[in-house]
């Protein structure tokens, strides 16, 4: 059965089985007639095999009877051929008789009732978890000759069964892949809320702690969170902090009239309030400096005062 884009073969078969339940018993009878017709054809072929073996046996016999008895070499060879032909004839007759006995025995009343019950209970057997996909395919081949799909505002499936019956199904158009794997609104709302104070890697960890999954059923990582933010226009922590008035390293260095390396050292020393904006800690934004912010050469003045105090103490001790 040809597949339509967006439909799995398994899903299409399930829909079909649900719609054709009332037809299965009649189809089973049609299939039984087909099996009987094929059995008759097999019987004819077996009879032809027996007739051919008998003809070969008679031909070998005539050849042997017409040979010169004094020509022992040829006579022995023809006798062996005759014996082989007789064995082939006997084997063919035995196979034919055995098959005839099996056909005459046929299914008994209990077996016929089981076949009818199976036909009526076709959907249960199809949906049974112990039924393998291979067996389901064989069941479909027994039931269906072919399916023609027409794409309109819906998908129209014209089903032709092995008994000659037809059935028409109308199925909704398949959803595009982006809708099948669309991330839930709950997850998107959580990403938006977490992005107020967290980086993408921290957001991924928070989502995984809550056992939330992506549209494809995957746990979150930095890459997935970043892609979802971009696709759904969710502002990053960096953009949110900038909107709140946070300064880059260059901007705060200009305000405090120091070098960028000095800002880096002051951040590490905890003299400036900074916010990490990426996974690797390469980007920081700084809160605007207040009246207690460090000043240029402030640490050098403290060093000078400590050295002066130390020098005065040493001089007093010497006197």
- Burial class of 237 by CB neighbour count within 10 A (0 to 12, 13 to 18, 19+): buried
Residue 82 belongs to domain spanning: 12-133
Percent of the chain at pLDDT exceeding 90:
28
Do 67 and 95 share a structural domain? yes
Using DSSP's 3-state secondary structure scheme, residue 92 falls into helix
CA distance 145 to 162: 5
Establish if 207 belongs to a structural domain.
yes
Do 291 and 208 share a structural domain? no
Establish if 119 belongs to a structural domain.
yes
Residue 306 has pLDDT above 60, yes or no: no
Output the six-digit token pair for 78. Answer: 């023809």
By the 8 A CB rule, do 30 and 145 touch?
no
Give me the mean pLDDT over the 128-157 stretch: 83
Do 196 and 86 share a structural domain? no
By the 8 A CB rule, do 6 and 153 touch?
no
Do 209 and 186 share a structural domain? yes
Nearest CA among 142, 48, 50, 46 for reference residue 102: 46
Establish if 200 belongs to a structural domain.
yes
Q: What is the mean pLDDT of the chain?
A: 78
- Non-local CB neighbours of 297 within 8 Å, separated by 6+ positions: none
Do 123 and 106 share a structural domain? yes
DSSP H or E stretch at residue 158: strand 155-161
Do 222 and 281 share a structural domain? no
Give me the mean pLDDT over the 279-306 stretch: 75
CA distance 208 to 227: 16
Sheet hosting strand 155-161, strand order edge to edge:
144-151, 155-161, 166-171
Give me the mean pLDDT over the 16-41 stretch: 58
Establish if 101 belongs to a structural domain.
yes
Residue 24 has pLDDT above 60, yes or no: no
- Comparing 10-19, 210-219, 238-247, 255-264, the range with the smallest average pLDDT is 10-19
Total domains in the chain come to 3
pLDDT tens digits along 47-83? 888 888 888 888 888 888 888 777 888 778 888 888 8
Using DSSP's 3-state secondary structure scheme, residue 182 falls into coil
By the 8 A CB rule, do 173 and 7 touch?
no
Do 119 and 22 share a structural domain? yes
- Comparing 10-14, 129-133, 238-242, the range with the smallest average pLDDT is 10-14
Give me the mean pLDDT over the 140-157 stretch: 83
Do 111 and 20 share a structural domain? yes
Residue 40 has pLDDT above 80, yes or no: no
Mark which of 75, 107, 133 sits at the end of a domain. 133
pLDDT of residue 41: 73
pLDDT of residue 167: 82
pLDDT of residue 237: 95
Mark which of 133, 155, 170 sits at the end of a domain. 133
CA distance 43 to 51: 12
- Assessment of whether the complete model's pTM goes beyond 0.75: no
Do 118 and 21 share a structural domain? yes
Mark which of 133, 165, 199 sits at the end of a domain. 133
Greater confidence (50 vs 316) lies with 50
pLDDT of residue 253: 93
Establish if 163 belongs to a structural domain.
no
DSSP H or E stretch at residue 171: strand 166-171
pLDDT of residue 221: 94
Pairing of strands 155-161, 144-151: antiparallel
Greater confidence (39 vs 80) lies with 80
Query: How confident is residue 4, by pLDDT bands cut at 50, 70 and 90?
Result: very low
pLDDT tens digits along 80-111? 888 888 888 888 888 888 877 766 555 555 55
Do 268 and 195 share a structural domain? no
By the 8 A CB rule, do 162 and 144 touch?
yes
Percent of the chain at pLDDT exceeding 70:
72
pLDDT of residue 1: 41
Establish if 172 belongs to a structural domain.
no
Do 25 and 93 share a structural domain? yes
Phi first, then psi, for residue 285 (nearest 5°) are -120, 145
Give me the mean pLDDT over the 14-42 stretch: 59
Establish if 145 belongs to a structural domain.
no
Establish if 159 belongs to a structural domain.
no
By the 8 A CB rule, do 74 and 42 touch?
no
Do 117 and 65 share a structural domain? yes
- Comparing 36-40, 107-111, 144-148, 165-169, the range with the smallest average pLDDT is 107-111
């Amino acid at each position: 059965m040809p597949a339509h884009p967006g439909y799995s073969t398994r899903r299409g078969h399930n829909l079909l089985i649900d719609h054709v339940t009332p037809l299965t018993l009649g189809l089973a009878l049609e299939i039984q007639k087909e099996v009987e017709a094929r059995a008759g054809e097999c019987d004819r072929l077996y009879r032809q095999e027996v007739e051919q073996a008998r003809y070969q046996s008679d031909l070998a016999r005539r050849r042997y009877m017409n040979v010169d008895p004094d020509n022992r070499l040829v006579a022995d060879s023809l006798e062996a051929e005759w014996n082989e032909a007789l064995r082939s004839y006997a084997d063919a007759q035995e196979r034919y008789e055995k098959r005839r006995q099996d056909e005459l025995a046929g299914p008994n009343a209990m077996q016929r009732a089981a076949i009818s019950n199976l036909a009526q209970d076709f959907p249960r057997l199809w949906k049974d978890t112990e039924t393998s996909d291979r067996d389901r395919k064989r069941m479909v081949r027994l039931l269906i000759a072919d399916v023609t799909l027409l794409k309109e505002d819906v998908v129209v499936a014209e089903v032709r069964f092995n008994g000659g019956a037809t059935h028409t199904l109308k199925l909704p158009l398949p959803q595009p892949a982006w809708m099948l794997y669309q991330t839930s609104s709950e997850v998107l709302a959580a990403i938006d809320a977490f992005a107020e104070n967290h980086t993408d890697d921290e957001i991924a960890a928070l989502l995984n702690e809550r056992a939330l999954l992506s549209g494809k059923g995957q746990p979150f990582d930095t890459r997935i969170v970043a892609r979802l933010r971009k696709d759904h226009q969710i502002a990053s922590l960096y953009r949110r902090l900038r909107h709140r008035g946070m300064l880059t390293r260059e901007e705060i260095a200009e305000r405090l009239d120091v070098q960028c390396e000095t800002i880096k050292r002051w951040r590490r020393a905890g003299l400036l309030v900074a916010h990490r904006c990426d996974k690797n800690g390469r980007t920081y934004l700084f809160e605007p400096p207040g009246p207690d912010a460090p000043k240029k050469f402030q640490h050098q003045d403290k060093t000078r005062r400590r050295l002066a105090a130390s020098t005065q103490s040493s001089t007093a001790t010497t006197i």
